[in-house]
Copies of this chain bind each other. A is one copy, B any other.
Amino acid sequence: MVTNATIETLLNRRSIRAFKDEAIDDDVIDALETVAQHAASSQYLNDWSAIRVTDPELKRTLAGISGQAYVGTAPLLYVFVADEHRNAAIAARKDMDVHTDAFTLTSSYRFSQAQNDAVLALHAMETAAYSLGLGCVILGSLLNDVDKLIEALRLPELTYPVLGLAIGKPDQEPALKPRMPRSMQFFENTYPTDDAEVLEPLADFDETVHRYYDLRNTERPVDAFSDQIAAVAVDQGVASKNVGEHAAKQGFKLR
């Protein structure tokens, strides 16, 4: 397998949930934000924005939503947002009416692509942060209460929160989390028709995951992969799961 500094960075990524109480330099912030802007963007629409959360009170609010205390003290905190609001404002200057069916920026396809673009930008920032020796954790947990998050960040019509990203100097050294055998995740030409064949290495992978030492709970071994899947399959632990409903309130039609 070939390697270089970037590949090493990507292979050694692990979520960091404890940060040193040290601010991040402005020239680092400049690099992280500029890198995010250089990710690809569907049809060059640049249809995402990011909210840089610096207000301590607001950080605490987001920590409350996520249920994760470390969100409240993360040295750098972003929420990436799918954003057709800006594009709609640009289109409005061309006398276009946002509130017609012909206006496609409100469509499910556009919502989906804006979401992708936000994630591409976030991952570029995350990768740059790791390359500088910083650590990150991606925050899906901010979506525990989408209404409250939208209110806290005052996200207008035609925006939607996608994921958060907390960044700081790592104050922990978690072990690298096991990855499933590649044959379970990469397929050639078509998706395999035989589930049993795909899941052939599952028992071994279950055992590997079970042996993984999770810093978040050092009292007991983590559950086997299969057991984790089974647990999540009946309880997402998320209060507001209906993306379509929330997206509709923000002006998107996910039909």
Instruction: Indicate if A175 sits at the interface (CB-CB under 8 A).
Output: no
* A227 to chain B: closest residue by CB: B94
Copies of this protein, total? 2
User: Are B241 and A109 neighbours in the complex by a CB distance under 8 Å?
Assistant: yes
Q: Give residues 128-142 of A contacting B (CB, 8 Å).
A: 128, 131-132, 138, 140
User: How far, in angstroms, from A118 to B165 measured CA to CA in the complex?
Assistant: 17
A142-171 vs B: 1/0 string, CB under 8 Å? 010000000001111001001100000000
User: How far, in angstroms, from A225 to B3 measured CA to CA in the complex?
Assistant: 38
User: Are A127 and B50 neighbours in the complex by a CB distance under 8 Å?
Assistant: no
Contacts of A243 in B (CB 8 A): 108-109, 111-112, 254
User: Are B54 and A38 neighbours in the complex by a CB distance under 8 Å?
Assistant: no
User: Are B124 and A10 neighbours in the complex by a CB distance under 8 Å?
Assistant: yes
Interchain CB contact (< 8 A) of A116 among B38, B115, B238: B115
Known: A37-B179, A86-B199, A243-B111. A193 touches B154 (CB 8 A): yes
Instruction: Indicate if A207 sits at the interface (CB-CB under 8 A).
Output: no
User: How far, in angstroms, from A70 to B198 measured CA to CA in the complex?
Assistant: 31
User: Are A96 and B233 neighbours in the complex by a CB distance under 8 Å?
Assistant: yes
User: Are B109 and A238 neighbours in the complex by a CB distance under 8 Å?
Assistant: yes
Contacts of A193 in B (CB 8 A): 154, 156
Instruction: Indicate if A52 sits at the interface (CB-CB under 8 A).
Output: yes
User: How far, in angstroms, from A91 to B224 measured CA to CA in the complex?
Assistant: 12
Instruction: Indicate if A81 sits at the interface (CB-CB under 8 A).
Output: yes
Interchain CB contact (< 8 A) of A162 among B104, B116, B190, B254: B116
Instruction: Indicate if A172 sits at the interface (CB-CB under 8 A).
Output: no
A20, chain B: closest CB distance, angstroms? 18
A253, chain B: closest CB distance, angstroms? 8
Instruction: Indicate if A215 sits at the interface (CB-CB under 8 A).
Output: no
Instruction: Indicate if A208 sits at the interface (CB-CB under 8 A).
Output: no
Instruction: Indicate if A18 sits at the interface (CB-CB under 8 A).
Output: no
Contacts of A242 in B (CB 8 A): 107-109, 255
